């Protein structure tokens, strides 16, 4: 690929709960204590330090910034929207725009108000929460006059799985996650419906705006020959089902890509049907993981315990393009620091993988690195994804990022594993 096409979004992503700090109105605030997690506390302090974040974006030469609104700040009580909070977010968007940086606003990045689940403990497995979500989107979008790009949900299926299957996010339900008709697909279906309704609403409120989803898509591989059907089960549940339900309400598909996953056929026929080889699943199952046929490769790992597989990004982009023929945006891609992990190499190799997909004809419209600064990684500060530290000190990939932004051209890179030495 010669150069980024005109209008290509090149920037970074963050989320409110992970960066703003002191989000006491979120259901996650007490949840952290209940789970015994490391407290999010001040996070990256972005609620007070937005101007420093803006300075970081300028250093990068970024022309796009994806951030999320904290629902519990915008609507601290069921019947009250907070004009001051909305004015602050609207001010951020104006400052970004004045600096030539496109604000891309996400309305839901895992965090929900405490009052929401107190009133509706069934959450997204019931029909009330979607209605309330739309009222919040309507109030917030109305205030964000400088924003033309919206994302109703970040990783809806990761959220559905975390909240209604794996017990990670409030309300913390545990269950067989791939069970058809179970709470995870039920929540997924309602999240898709809310996306479609938010799309129609936003198009009506702000004609000409763009609306996408930031969808977590891993590069899946069957753990063994013969395990392809298990791989398809996981692909349907986590990737395709949501996209099928929302395909008419997506101006582009945003892809959050991090790594590859091997999927095994579970030794029991129902109701789980497959065993996805995430680092987190391996950790949760301990020795059982291997006994049940789980597969993870022994290669070097990031600070999340994830493999670095740049060509997986190429595969994922090609696959989604072939199936949907919709523009794609890499809405998240990044690496948590670890011994032997080279963030600049990771960035170079993933940009090269994206460029190969574009050369093959895939319509990619943007790349947003996760994350601008180190932040609270859902229960811990250990994994550090930031281009900048929480003190806003530039890390090792900032120079390369700024060079790519200046030249508007992905660096030349070979096809390879990249990003990890050794």
C-alpha span between 289 and 280 (Å, rounded): 11
- Beta carbon of residue 215, minimum distance to ligand BGC (angstroms, whole number): 10
- Beta carbon of residue 325, minimum distance to ligand BGC (angstroms, whole number): 25
* Nearest Cα to Cα of residue 288 among 275, 299, 298: 275
112 near ligand BGC, rule: CB under 6 A: no
* Residues 259 to 288 in contact with ligand BGC, rule: CB under 6 A: none
* Helix%, strand%, coil% for the chain, nearest 5: 40, 15, 40
377 near ligand BGC, rule: CB under 6 A: yes
Strand order in the sheet with 260-265: 219-222, 260-265, 274-276
313 contacts 348 by C-beta, under 8 angstroms? no
2 burial (CB, 10 Å; 0-12 / 13-18 / 19+) is exposed
- Beta carbon of residue 240, minimum distance to ligand BGC (angstroms, whole number): 18
C-alpha span between 375 and 386 (Å, rounded): 7
125 burial (CB, 10 Å; 0-12 / 13-18 / 19+) is buried
Q: Which residues of 193-218 are buried (b: 16+ CB within 10 A; e: fewer)?
A: bbbbbbbebbbeebeebbbbbbbbbb
Binding map of ligand BGC across residues 243-262, x = CB under 6 A, - = no contact: -------------x------
For the record, the structure tokens of 44 come out as 């990256």
111 near ligand BGC, rule: CB under 6 A: no
* Residues 82 to 101 in contact with ligand BGC, rule: CB under 6 A: none
| DSSP output for 97-123 | HHTT-EEEEEEESS--BHHHHHH-TTG
- Beta carbon of residue 75, minimum distance to ligand BGC (angstroms, whole number): 21
* Residues 41 to 80 in contact with ligand BGC, rule: CB under 6 A: none
15 near ligand BGC, rule: CB under 6 A: yes
Closer to ligand BGC by CB, 8 or 381: give it.
Answer: 381
* Residues 135 to 164 in contact with ligand BGC, rule: CB under 6 A: 154-155, 158
- Beta carbon of residue 194, minimum distance to ligand BGC (angstroms, whole number): 18
Pick the binder of ligand BGC from 53, 63, 251, 332 (CB under 6 A): 332
Pick the binder of ligand BGC from 29, 370, 388, 401 (CB under 6 A): 370
- Beta carbon of residue 55, minimum distance to ligand BGC (angstroms, whole number): 22
216 near ligand BGC, rule: CB under 6 A: yes
Closer to ligand BGC by CB, 15 or 75: give it.
Answer: 15
- Beta carbon of residue 316, minimum distance to ligand BGC (angstroms, whole number): 14
C-beta neighbour count of 94 within 10 angstroms: 15
Closer to ligand BGC by CB, 158 or 355: give it.
Answer: 158
- Beta carbon of residue 354, minimum distance to ligand BGC (angstroms, whole number): 18
275 contacts 235 by C-beta, under 8 angstroms? no
Q: What residues make contact with ligand BGC under the rule CB under 6 A?
A: 15, 18, 154-155, 158, 216, 256, 332, 370, 377
């Amino acid at each position: 690929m010669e150069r980024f096409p005109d209008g290509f979004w090149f920037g970074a992503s963050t989320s409110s709960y992970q960066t703003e700090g002191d989000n006491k109105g979120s259901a996650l605030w007490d949840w952290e204590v209940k789970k015994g997690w490391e407290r999010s506390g001040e996070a990256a302090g972005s609620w007070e330090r937005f101007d420093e974040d803006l300075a970081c974006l300028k250093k990068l030469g970024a022309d796009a910034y994806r951030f999320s609104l904290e629902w519990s700040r915008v609507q601290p009580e069921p019947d009250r929207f907070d004009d001051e909070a909305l004015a602050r977010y609207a001010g951020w968007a104006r400052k970004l725009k004045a600096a030539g940086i496109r604000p891309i606003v996400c309305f839901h990045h895992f965090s929900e108000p405490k009052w929401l689940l107190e009133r509706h403990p069934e959450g997204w497995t019931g029909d009330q929460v979607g209605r309330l979500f739309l009222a919040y989107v309507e109030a917030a979008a109305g205030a964000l006059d400088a924003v033309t790009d919206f994302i109703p949900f970040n990783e809806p299926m990761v959220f559905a799985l975390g909240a209604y299957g794996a017990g990670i996010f409030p309300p913390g339900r545990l269950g067989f996650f791939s069970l058809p008709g179970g709470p995870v697909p039920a929540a997924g279906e309602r999240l898709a419906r809310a996306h479609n309704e938010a799309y129609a609403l936003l198009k009506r409120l702000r004609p000409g705006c763009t609306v996408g989803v930031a969808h977590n898509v891993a590069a899946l591989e069957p753990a063994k020959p013969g395990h392809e059907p298990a791989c398809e089960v996981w692909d349907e549940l986590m990737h395709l089902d949501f996209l099928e339900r929302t395909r008419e309400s997506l101006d582009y598909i945003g892809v959050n890509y991090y790594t590859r996953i091997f999927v095994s056929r579970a030794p029991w026929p129902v109701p789980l049907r497959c065993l996805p080889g995430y680092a987190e699943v391996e950790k949760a199952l301990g020795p059982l993981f291997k006994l049940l046929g789980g597969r993870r490769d022994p290669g070097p790992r990031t600070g999340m315990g994830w493999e670095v597989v740049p060509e997986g990004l190429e595969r994922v982009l090609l696959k989604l393009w072939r199936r949907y023929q919709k523009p794609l945006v890499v809405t998240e891609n990044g690496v948590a620091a670890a011994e032997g992990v080279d963030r600049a190499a990771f960035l170079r190799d993933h940009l090269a993988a994206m460029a190969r997909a574009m050369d093959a004809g895939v319509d990619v419209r943007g790349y947003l690195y996760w994350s601008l600064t180190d932040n609270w990684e859902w229960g811990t500060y250990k994994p550090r994804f930031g281009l900048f530290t929480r003190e806003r000190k530039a890390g090792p990939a900032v120079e390369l990022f700024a060079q790519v932004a200046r030249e508007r051209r992905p660096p030349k890179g070979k096809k390879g594993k990249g990003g990890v030495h050794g």
